[in-house]
Amino acid sequence: MSDSRRLLVVDDQEPNRRLLADLLQAHGHAVTAADSGEQALAALASGGIDLVLLDVMMPGMNGYEVCRALRADAATAMLPVIMVTALDPTEERVKGLEAGADDFLVKPINAPELLARVRSLLRVKSFHDAMQAQAGELAALNADLEQRVQAQLAELQRLAQLKRFFPPHLAERIVAGDEDDPLATHRREVSVVVLDLRGFTAFADASEPEEVMSLLRRYHAEMGAVILHHGGTLEQFTGSAMLVVFNDPLVVEDPAGRAVRMALEMQQRFEALVGEWRKRGHEIALGIGIAHGYATIGAIGYEGRTGYGVIGRVTNLASRLGAEARPGEILVSAPVLAQVEAIVDAEAAEHVNLDDFARPVAAHRILRLKASPTVSKEDAWPLRIHALGQFALLRHGEPIVFSRKIQKRPLDLLKALIARGGVRVDTASLMGALWPDAEGDTAKLSFDSNLHRLRKLVDLDDVITLNEGRLTLDASRCWVDVWAVEEAVEQIDRVAHDPAGSAAEMIGLVVDLLRLYRGHFLENETQDPWAATARDRLKAKFVRAVSTAGQWLEERGCWDQCVELYGRALELDNLAEGLHRRLMITYRELGEPAEALKVYRRCREMLSIVLGIAPSPETEAIRASLR
């Protein structure tokens, strides 16, 4: 029979056991026999029994005692039990039911009746087993559903939190895993804009709360629309102040330029907005400060209340510039002006007091956009690839939106191509790097498939070409920051060895180098050997170029430029002891031994914490010279 089960026959009389066993086996059931109650319980403990035929009268434990023991155990509480007796059936049936038996048979056994009762109870057991299995599946489904609901609730809460700072579409991509988590602590070069309302305190003191709220709603709505239009991230806003960040969490083209254009548009919008308030006698104006530099970014707060925070000197400087700005004025730091002077008219802001900053700070007033702004040569390329710092692709100046989960392998192919120079790279070396364990034609098939997907993602004809087994990025249509850095390094070497080289040219190249080298090659993207090799090579080139340019500037007494150069370089590589030494010497030559000692202490702390070593004798000798 296809529905055969395993049955246990318990009887102290061997002829009875054999009779029942032969009868049941003849109808396809597997039979296990036991000659006592104790032996029956031992057999049941091993599991796998579907029904028990149990004699009542046995030495030791009788049938009732065995039955009660079965019902007391959760594992056998629902196991079908047929009691077999030669005693008075009526009296024994009552005792058996009280003990937990499901049915009775009277000796001598009637074969058809035995088989019918066995089939009936096995059918009931099948229904019970099915119900138990379904209950288990239902419990598992419920647990899975509950887990998924909790995960979706957490995702919705996270999405709501992210939408407080980022545009809705970006927040959704972050939650989906298509963008790096902006709340994870990271370091980024950013432009920070701080807006500060002048006269707001007096206005709020003299007005009803409803009028104040009405003003703020219109102000925030108007400024918020401008922020979204220019691709900024609103880090925070209070009643009278707003802080906007460019270049995080998304890498954007020309963050300083975007920040300045946004500020100019905000001043125009604000003038249109504030006219009505001034008619009511409220003197309210807007001051804006903009700074550019490195910041530490991530979640700040406490459990249950966290936010997106941008911490660092750049934020402090932007806030201070915003506070110092006169009504209607836009103040920017020197690094911002260096990046936007081709597109704006500006002048020095002599009235600004920034003396309490550790390093000298120059402030400039943005007047207007130039009538015919100079177009950067970098804008000529349809495709721009950033691989230093955060990885990003821009097509015609706009970020290419893609799912990292779906496009990971095609992007890995692009990154490996850049790591190997990007021009006429042997496809065999790319396949060996990305699919080292592939056998036969598998690597070639994977390469062809991912190259096709990469071309579709870039969506620009002939930017990526394959010729004679070599893959190339077309340098006439594609700009790569790695290439630009390598060109800047070569130009710095050229000027350093050219007797006719000018300080202006060297300073310009240094500015370009620091602007381009935003971070180490694919630092947060991959630790694969092909990437690590390229990362170390580019880092060594950068440090060598900084040292070459710094030495050249030192020899010509350009100490202020050396402070900027070494300081920015150390923000990128704070373990470069040689750069710490050069910065110490620079401050010493500027007559600022206190600043030199601060640099020494930072160097000592970083070397101790990260590498577990002490500063070298050369560094200690410079420290000793500061006394």
Domains 6-132 and 379-573 share a fold: no
Superfamily of domain 168-374: Nucleotide cyclase, GGDEF domain (3.30.70.1230)
Q: Helix or strand or coil: residue 82?
A: strand
pLDDT, position 188:
83
Helices 404-419 and 427-434, packing angle to 10 deg: 130
Least confident of 46-50, 470-474, 618-622: 46-50
Give the CB-side neighbour count of residue 324, counting CA atoms within 13 A. Answer: 22
pLDDT at 299 over 50: yes
For domain 379-573, the CATH class is: mainly alpha
Q: Per-residue pLDDT tens for 340-383?
A: 988 899 999 887 877 777 666 789 999 998 875 454 555 568 99
pLDDT band (50, 70, 90) for residue 171:
low
Give domain 6-132's CATH architecture.
3-Layer(aba) Sandwich (3.40)
Percent of the chain with pLDDT over 90: 37
Contacts of 551 (CB under 8 A, 6+ apart): 496
- Calpha distance 403→131 (Å, rounded): 44
**Domain coordinates in residue numbering, the chain:** 6-132, 168-374, 379-573
- Cβ atoms within 10 Å, residue 161: 17
Strands 383-386 and 392-395: antiparallel
DSSP 477: T
Burial of 416 (0-12, 13-18, 19+ CB in 10 A): buried
Strands 464-467 and 233-237: unpaired
Q: Per-residue pLDDT tens for 486-535?
A: 999 999 999 999 988 888 899 889 988 988 898 899 987 888 999 999 99
Q: Per-residue pLDDT tens for 332-350?
A: 998 899 889 888 999 998 8
Q: What is the chain's mean pLDDT, rounded?
A: 86
- Calpha distance 448→471 (Å, rounded): 11
Is the separation of the CB atoms in 163 and 171 below 8 Å? yes
pLDDT, position 161:
65
Helices 37-45 and 63-72, packing angle to 10 deg: 30
Record the pTM.
0.59
Q: Per-residue pLDDT tens for 241-270?
A: 899 999 888 777 789 999 999 999 999 989
pLDDT, position 169:
55
In degrees and rounded to multiples of 5, residue 325 shows phi and psi of -65, 135
Q: Per-residue pLDDT tens for 448-499?
A: 999 999 999 888 888 999 999 999 999 989 999 999 999 999 999 999 999 8
pLDDT at 275 over 70: yes
pLDDT, position 601:
92
pLDDT band (50, 70, 90) for residue 2:
very low
Is the separation of the CB atoms in 192 and 315 below 8 Å? yes
CA dist list (Å): 152 to 147, 149, 304, 404: 9, 5, 18, 21
- Calpha distance 29→21 (Å, rounded): 9
pLDDT band (50, 70, 90) for residue 167:
low
Contacts of 190 (CB under 8 A, 6+ apart): 245, 246, 247, 248, 255, 292, 293, 294, 295, 297, 310, 314
pLDDT at 159 over 80: no
pLDDT, position 182:
66
pLDDT band (50, 70, 90) for residue 406:
low
In degrees and rounded to multiples of 5, residue 479 shows phi and psi of -110, 130
23, two tokens: 């009868």
